[in-house]
Each structure stands twice: as structure tokens, then as C-alpha cells.
């Protein structure tokens, strides 16, 4: 029996990446930089996990003048402020099927957790906006990217979530939308349900135990592996 479900955030609980992209561009403009990340460029930059890491990678591939770590940190902090204001303004909602799945898990008594590369302020902004001020009561454990040494695809954030849950990987399932997320969860020994998302639609999700086209496919039957041979969760290797 599955005792806990661990959710990624960006692209999984909500389609946030376009708002992240716009927030980056607003931060760049506010800082007097002539950078503008279009959707195609941002899709490529998403292969690098972590906002500060993404900015540093952009500097490397674009030939722009280098920045000190403190400058990158300040730029990312400004981006986070833009993002949180946009989310709090109602520009992002949960993906169809997520609210119903969360409610079904709560009724079943399944523990909920988060394992994401995004920062705690971003999580707070999104979930307080979509689930209400007491969203934290729903989640037994919240593991964020700024709480671990290495971000996805390293397993660190999922290992932290498991420690906070005080459960072995065999009792848990991760829900992810990206190749890096699957690698991270698998590295921590978890089974994975993958849901395709807008910005990671072309990712190779073949390492997941189940691949769904959208979050409306998240059901108790899929979770327990009772639907059919094509959707049933395989035993963790």
C-alpha cells in the first residue's frame, strides 16, 4: 500500500513555467539588461535546474559578460519577487485533475509531500494562492531546492523528502513532469508517475513507471496499479 505521494511543483502541480519565464524577463528589464528569453530558449534553459544555475548557464552559452555569484543571486531574488506577485495575482492555477487527486489522497489517509528544485517563497506563493492560506496543513513534508546541496537530477531533494516523511522509498510514489525529475526520484529509489507538461512535452519520460498525458489521469487506480497492464505501476527495481 502506498503511504505517501511526493509531488514536484513546476509543471506538475501547476503549469508555472511561462510565468517563471515572464518573471525572469521582467527582472532582466528592471536591472537594465537587454536580455529576453523567448519560449524556445527557455525550453532549452529548463534542462538546467535551479534559477540561479539557469542564469549562470545562459551567461556561458550567450557570451554575455560574466557576473559574480552575488549579482546572479540578486537578479534571481528580483525574479522571485516578480513571480510571487504574479502568482498571488491569480495568474496560475492548479492543473486540471490535481485538486481532485489531492482531495482523494487526503480522504484515503495518504501522506502528501513536495520535492522540488524551486524555492520556498515560490512554493508558498503558488500553494497559498491555489489551495488557501492553510495549504501547509495538507503536506507532511516540503523539500525545496534551496534546502539541499544538489538539485535535480541528483536525488538529494527526494532523499530529504523521504527523511522528513520518515518512510522508505518502497512506501512512496513520486509525481513528476520532466526527465530530470524522473532521474532524481529514481535515484532515491522511488517509483514514478510522470505527467506530460507544456514546457517538458518533448522530454523522454521513459524511465517512469507510468506516463500520463495529463493530470486528469491521476487516479487511485493508477496509484495502486490496478487499472490495467499498460498503466500498472511496476515493482520498484
**pLDDT tens column, 94-105:** 999 999 999 999
Provide the grid cell at 180: 530530470
Say if residues 39 and 147 touch (Cβ distance below 8 Å).
Answer: no
For 27, 29, 43, 69, 177, the CA distances from 33, given in Å and listed in that order, are: 9, 5, 20, 17, 31
What residues have CB less than 8 Å from 60, skipping those under 6 apart?
A: none
Whether pTM exceeds 0.85: yes
Name residue, grid cell 507532511.
140
What residues have CB less than 8 Å from 222, skipping those under 6 apart?
A: 193, 210, 212, 231, 233
Q: In the structure, what pLDDT confidence band is assigned to residue 232 with cuts at 50, 70 and 90? A: very low
Rg of the Cα trace of the chain? 18
The DSSP secondary structure of 132-191, one letter per residue, reads: -TTGGGGEEEEE-GGGSSS-TTSSHHHHHHHHHHT--GGGEEEEE-SHHHHHHHHHTT-E
SS3 59: helix
pLDDT above 80: residue 222: yes
Say if residues 5 and 112 touch (Cβ distance below 8 Å).
Answer: yes
The residues annotated as belonging to the active site are 8, 10
Residue 1 is predicted with a pLDDT of 83
Average pLDDT of the segment spanning 3-30: 97
pLDDT above 50: residue 138: yes
Average pLDDT of the segment spanning 96-115: 97
Amino acid at each position: 500500500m502506498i503511504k505517501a505521494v511526493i509531488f514536484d511543483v513546476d509543471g506538475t502541480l501547476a503549469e508555472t513555467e511561462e510565468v517563471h519565464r515572464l518573471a525572469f524577463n521582467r527582472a532582466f528589464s528592471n536591472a537594465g539588461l537587454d536580455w529576453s528569453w523567448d519560449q524556445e530558449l527557455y525550453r532549452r534553459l529548463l534542462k538546467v535546474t535551479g534559477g540561479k544555475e539557469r542564469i549562470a548557464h545562459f551567461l556561458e552559452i550567450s557570451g554575455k559578460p560574466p557576473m559574480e555569484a552575488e549579482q546572479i543571486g540578486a537578479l534571481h531574488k528580483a525574479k522571485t519577487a516578480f513571480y510571487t506577485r504574479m502568482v498571488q495575482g491569480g495568474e496560475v492555477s492548479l492543473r486540471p485533475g490535481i485538486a481532485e487527486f489531492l482531495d482523494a489522497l487526503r480522504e484515503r489517509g495518504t501522506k502528501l509531500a513536495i520535492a522540488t528544485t524551486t524555492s520556498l517563497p515560490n512554493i508558498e506563493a503558488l500553494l497559498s494562492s491555489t489551495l488557501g492560506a492553510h495549504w501547509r496543513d495538507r503536506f507532511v513534508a516540503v523539500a525545496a531546492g534551496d534546502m539541499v546541496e544538489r538539485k535535480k537530477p541528483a536525488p538529494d531533494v527526494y532523499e530529504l523528502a523521504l527523511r522528513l516523511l520518515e518512510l522508505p522509498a518502497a512506501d512512496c510514489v513520486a509525481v513528476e513532469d520532466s526527465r530530470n525529475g524522473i532521474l532524481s526520484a529514481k535515484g532515491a529509489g522511488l517509483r514514478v508517475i510522470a505527467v506530460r507538461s507544456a514546457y517538458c512535452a518533448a522530454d523522454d519520460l521513459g524511465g517512469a513507471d507510468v506516463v500520463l498525458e495529463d493530470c486528469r489521469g491521476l487516479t487511485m487506480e493508477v496509484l495502486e496499479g490496478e487499472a490495467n497492464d499498460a498503466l500498472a505501476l511496476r515493482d520498484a527495481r
